[in-house]
Every structure is written in structure tokens, then in C-alpha cells.
Structure 1
Amino acid sequence: MATDTPILGELTTTWTPPSQCAVAVAQCSTCALAWQAQECPGGTSVQDDAGCWPPRTRNVATPVPLMDWGVYSPGIACPAGYTTACTHDGSKQRGDFSFHWRPQSSETAVGCCPVGFKCAVMPDYNNAQTCTRVATTGSVLTALCEAGAMAVMAEQTVPFVVTDSQGATTAVRALDVKAPLFQLVFQASDLPGFVSSSSKATTSTTLSPGSSSSIPTQTGSTTLSPTGSSPDASGAAPALSNGQVAGIAVGATLGAVGLVGGLIMALCYKRWKRRQESKYEMLQRQYQHMPPPPSSGTMSYPDSAALSYYGGYVAHDHTKAWAGGQPYHVSTELPSHVSTELPSSTPPLELDSSRR
């Protein structure tokens, strides 16, 4: 900042102002302009209350009024009930507000205003910077100064009608409320979790949860953090490394191979099962067409001969049920019509002379 910029002190923690600092004090009951952070020095007069400003650690004068009083440096925490309302980046010479005390190229300026207020200048007061809110609806806590003290403190619902001591009525349709703008100035090295460029080459630092957000929020207070810790404004995700890409490719390939292999195994199993069922059905049909048993007696023959005789495999169960529902028992005796003699066309076997 410029060498002539008055530094009020540091503001690195959240400071809580007294409750009366949020009261909007007007100079008259029909006035459409009121000021927060005021005191009543005597009679009906109103002036800025230095007690509503964060503590000063430097020996600075206290002018009246407290307009463009100075800056807090390093300043990284807005008071309770205040939030970041405007900023100016000195390195880019760009921002949404032109501060009275311009930041240098290595600095960033922040304007802290009460929640619902915005940064503004007052042309009638030499373009002094301030916070403003024009209330057209809702309620505002207002007060008047009487005999050197705040009086008639009440929630005023806008718009409202005021009747003076003479009986005249005045309608106030909008109430312009002003509040002090606290200007904070900081460098990147002032922020929690800051890592210098020389240290980044050998080490990395993870910001604490309390200092991870640099986006202004409409909350009771705001703590700033390194701009480098905020996400890319475009919202784009960081690019994948070569190793991550290779890992994704290998995983996808293995998954595809496993899926194809599983389908092939399922198909083979289905075909095998179909063949087994077909064989079973064929054997069942052969079994159902077997000739009925003799009217008396049993058939006795070896199991293997029975299987050959009936031309196929039957379950090795000696008790079977015929179509008539009567069981029969397979024995090892051959039926009488099965010949055990070789046919006549088969010549007898002669032993060689050595075996005679």
C-alpha cells in the first residue's frame, strides 16, 4: 500500500462489535437516512462511535467523522455480522470496487460490510467509502438521540408513517441505512497455509478446514484464504495423469475379457446340459418301448447281457414298473429263446498241436 496509507492495526481473528453498533440512528423521526455504529455525544447530535470499529493497535488519530479512517493490515477476518462485500486485486489491478486506499501489486483489498449491505461511496462526503442498504420492506432497528442518549429504540417496519409534534404526518417509503466499511489489506504470505514458491518444490501443505474457502459468503463473518487454494473458476476437473489413464485402460480391458469369458462358459455349459437332457430323453423313450415280461416266471440273465439285449443303457434298478403298473425283477437268468450256441456258420476252433 502507499506509504501515506494509515494502518489502524491487524485484524487476523473474528472480532465481535457491541450490540448497539447495529442500531440505525437517525437525526429526526421523519428522516429517511440513518447510520449504524453511532453514539449520542450530547443533546440530539449524532456522531461515529470509534468503539464500533475493530481495535486499533497503532497510535492513530480519531477524526470525526470516521470516514476513510484507514485500513487493517494484515487483515484476513471480517468482524462478526460482517461479510466480504467487495474486493480489489492489486496484482491484476482489477476488482468490483475502487477503494480510497489502493492496494499495491502484491496486495489484495477487501471491504467488509454488514450482511445485506454493499460497498458504496458518498458524493456528499467527498466520495468517502461506506456500506449502504436501502430498505423498502421489512423491519429496521432504529433509534433517536435525546439528551445525549439513545432513545425511542424500536423495530421500524418500512414503509411507515411518522406524526410530528405539530400533528403533521410524513410517509417514509424507503430508509437509507449507512454503516462503516472496514477495509482489510493482505498479501498471500499473510494467509493461513501459505507456502512460498521455493518451498513448493520440496514440500506440500494442506490448508486447514477453516481456511479452505476464499469465496465470500453471506454469513456472520468471513475469513480469507490463499487464492491458490480455491477451485478453478471454470469448474473444470484436473486432467488425469498417464498412470491413471493406463490403469483405467487395463482395468477396462480385463473387465471386457472376463465378461466375454463368462459368456462363453455359460454358452458351453448350456449346450452340454442340452446334450445330456437329449440323451436322457432318448433312453427314456427306449426304456418305455421295452417288451413286457413273460406271463410267468422271471427273466434271468446278467445285467450286462440285459443291457446288450435291450439295445441301450437302463438305470441299474432291478425293480421296474411296466405300463401296466406291475413291477418286474431283472434276474441273471437268460430267457429260453436266447440261444447260447454259436451259429453253424462259425467254424470250431482247433488247438494247435503244441497244446494237444
Structure 2
Amino acid sequence: MPDNRTILGPLTETWTFPSRCNQFYLPDCSSCTVASQGQKCNTANPTTIDSREDIQCWPPGTPPNVFDPPLSGWGIYKPADKCPEGYTVACSAEGTTKSDFEFQFEVHDDEFVRGCCPSHYECAKYEGAQTCRSIFSRGRIQMFSCKSGSTVLNDLKAPTQWLGPGYTTIGSITIHAPMFQLAGLENFETTTDTALASSTETSQPNMESDSGGGLSTGEQAGIGIGVGVVGLGILVAAFYLWRRRERSKVPPKYILEPSQLDSREVNPPGELGGIPIAPPPYTPVELHGTTARQELP
């Protein structure tokens, strides 16, 4: 059975996803809700971006493969065993026996296939072509649109309204990004990152989230430490109040103040106890005026 797949050749390891390819392009209409990355404005039809992928947003293919939009998935990079920088494995298949995604291009029995997408994107199909998909449903995001051959920047806030000429309610925006299908003969480590559901938001440049979201591990640890410190403070305050109350129950000892000591009068002897004591009576005696002289022997 002939191989009818488009083999783009090996994936160049030095190729990196250009930063400008992270921009979101949305057709210039108030009801449009499907945006794409890796696009550029179509000067031939200035109000649309259809069929105008940016060649710089795909790894180069080897001749005779020609970059001719619309790519519609384009082909398979083989041999390849590592996603380009900025991309991660979002889906995989091991031969024809194990797969978590129906790849656009057939997987052979002896191949290990990976679908590479930006972080927080999932493998998906859009109009028959494989793509990376993310759902933006909450917060603020910057979208580019094409008007008269030039690029126009618009602010978009979901799920409320389109902030442009006119207002309309928008529930969510579906964003597509280029998907790179890799094939090799050796299994390489899978770092699947498909934790994006339709209710989550993309974490790409030019986005602001208005919602609180879940707490990170660091935030949870900080809250736990704060609660512990507050609890310890309450216990210390309660112990202090209890000690103060216990000490207030001890009857005070009576101690004379210095002012009281200074004001007390000290009675002389004989006046103690409040009963005066009279001195003992003495009889006056007259002394002789002369004394007999005596000679010493």
C-alpha cells in the first residue's frame, strides 16, 4: 500500500516558534468567535484572514514541499523526536494499537507519533484539518483583525462584550494554533499537557484575567502560615487576659504610705497608752556647810 502522506522531512532542532506567531487574529466582525494564531492579513481580501497562514510560524519543510496556504495540517515531520521550543506534546500514538487522538495523517505500525501544541492547548480537528485548540471564556484579551490591508488591534472581554464598533454579547472565543505532527521510530518522553476544558482560559500573551481563579500552592501555603500566626496571637492574648484576671483576685496587703508615717506623732515616755505617770516623790535634804579636816598619817 503506497504511502500517501505528506512527509515534510526532519524537524530542524534550531527552529523556534517566533513570538509574533502568538498573536490572535479574529475576523473583523462582531459575531465572529473563532480566532487563529500563525496568521497574517490578506492584502487581496482585506477584511478576512482566511487562507493566509504566516510561513514563519511553521518549521520549514524539505523540497519539494512548498508552503502554499491554506495548509490544512500540511504534513508530518519525520524523523522527529522533540517538539519545538515553546511547544509541548498534547496527543500521541504508538503504532496502530494505542492512540489518544485521531491524527489527520495515518500512523504506521512501527511509528511513535506526537502532536505538538502550545502549552494549555489540546489536539483537535477543524474543518477536517488537525489543529491545536484552546477556549477563551473569561477575562480580557487582545485580538488583531485585518482592515483595508492593515492590522487593527482590538480589546476583547469575555463573556461580556466586544469592545469595538458596536457591542454584542460573547460567551467564549475558540482559538486555533498550528499543530505539528512528529513521527519517529523511537518512543520519547511524553509531556502531555491537555488540561484545558471549555470553561478554562488560555494563558497566552496579551491576556488579563478578571476572575480570581484557583489558588496556587504558594498562595495556599501563605494563607496557612497566616492563619497559624493569627491563631497563635489569639492564644497569647487569651493567656495574658487570664493571668491578669487571676492576679486581680489576690487581696492587697495593707502597707503604710510614707506620707502616713510622717504624719504620726511619737509620744514621749510616760505618755504611752494615754495614762500619764507621775515622777516619784523626793524629800529635800540640806547638806552640811563644813567638813572636818583630817590629817594624813
Does the pair score TM above 0.5?
yes
Q: Which residue of 1 aligns with 2:191?
A: 216
Q: Which residue of 2 aligns with 1:62?
A: 67
Q: Is contact 1:50-1:66 (8 Å) kept? A: no
Q: Which residue of 2 aligns with 1:27?
A: 27
* Letter matched to residue 116 of structure 1: H
CA distance in 2, matches of 1:138, 1:58: 43
Q: Which residue of 2 aligns with 1:175?
A: 173
Q: Is contact 1:29-1:162 (8 Å) kept? A: no
What's the offset of the Cα at 1:36? Answer: 0.6
| TM-score normalised by the chain length of structure 1 | 0.49
* Letter matched to residue 8 of structure 2: L
CA distance change for structure 1 residues 38 and 83 in 2, over 3 Å: closer, same or farther? same
CA distance in 2, matches of 1:2, 1:71: 16
Secondary structure (helix, strand or coil) at the match of 2:10 reads strand
Q: Which residue of 2 aligns with 1:292?
A: none
Q: Is contact 1:110-1:183 (8 Å) kept? A: yes
Q: Is contact 2:28-2:48 (8 Å) kept? A: no
CA distance in 2, matches of 1:74, 1:144: 36
Q: Which residue of 1 aligns with 2:9?
A: 9
Q: Is contact 1:12-1:77 (8 Å) kept? A: no
Q: Is contact 2:154-2:164 (8 Å) kept? A: no
Contiguous gaps of at least 5 residues in structure 1:
192-212, 219-356
CA distance in 1, matches of 2:54, 2:65: 15
CA distance change for structure 1 residues 143 and 160 in 2, over 3 Å: closer, same or farther? farther
What's the offset of the Cα at 1:121? Answer: 1.0
Larger RCO (alpha carbons 8 Å, 6+ apart): 2
CA distance in 1, matches of 2:62, 2:84: 16
Q: Which residue of 1 aligns with 2:78?
A: 73
Q: Which residue of 2 aligns with 1:98?
A: 102
* Letter matched to residue 179 of structure 1: A
Q: Which residue of 2 aligns with 1:44?
A: 47
Choose which of 119, 124, 127 in structure 2 pairs with 1:115: 119
CA distance change for structure 1 residues 82 and 7 in 2, over 3 Å: closer, same or farther? same
CA distance in 1, matches of 2:142, 2:64: 33
CA distance in 2, matches of 1:84, 1:18: 18
Secondary structure (helix, strand or coil) at the match of 1:170 reads coil
Cα deviation, 1:307-344, whole Å, max 9, x if unaligned, reads: xxxxxxxxxxxxxxxxxxxxxxxxxxxxxxxxxxxxxx
Matches within 5 A, 1:165-244: 165=165, 168-188=166-186, 214-216=189-191, 218=193
Cα deviation, 1:153-193, whole Å, max 9, x if unaligned, reads: 55x4422412554xx420112011011111001112xx7xx
Identity between Structure 1 and Structure 2 (%): 34
CA distance in 1, matches of 2:6, 2:48: 28
CA distance change for structure 1 residues 95 and 110 in 2, over 3 Å: closer, same or farther? same
| TM-score normalised by the chain length of structure 2 | 0.58
What's the offset of the Cα at 1:5? Answer: 1.2
Matches within 5 A, 1:240-319: none
Q: Which residue of 1 aligns with 2:224?
A: none
Contiguous gaps of at least 5 residues in structure 2:
194-297
CA distance in 2, matches of 1:179, 1:93: 28
Q: Is contact 1:13-1:76 (8 Å) kept? A: no
CA distance change for structure 1 residues 14 and 137 in 2, over 3 Å: closer, same or farther? farther
CA distance change for structure 1 residues 140 and 112 in 2, over 3 Å: closer, same or farther? farther
What's the offset of the Cα at 1:112? Answer: 0.6
Cα deviation, 1:95-149, whole Å, max 9, x if unaligned, reads: 1001111121111111011111100112xx2x21111111112343421112323
Secondary structure (helix, strand or coil) at the match of 1:11 reads coil
CA distance change for structure 1 residues 162 and 176 in 2, over 3 Å: closer, same or farther? same
CA distance in 2, matches of 1:142, 1:2: 43
Q: How many corresponding residue pairs? A: 189
- Alignment root-mean-square deviation, CA: 2.4
| Higher helix content, 1 or 2 | 1
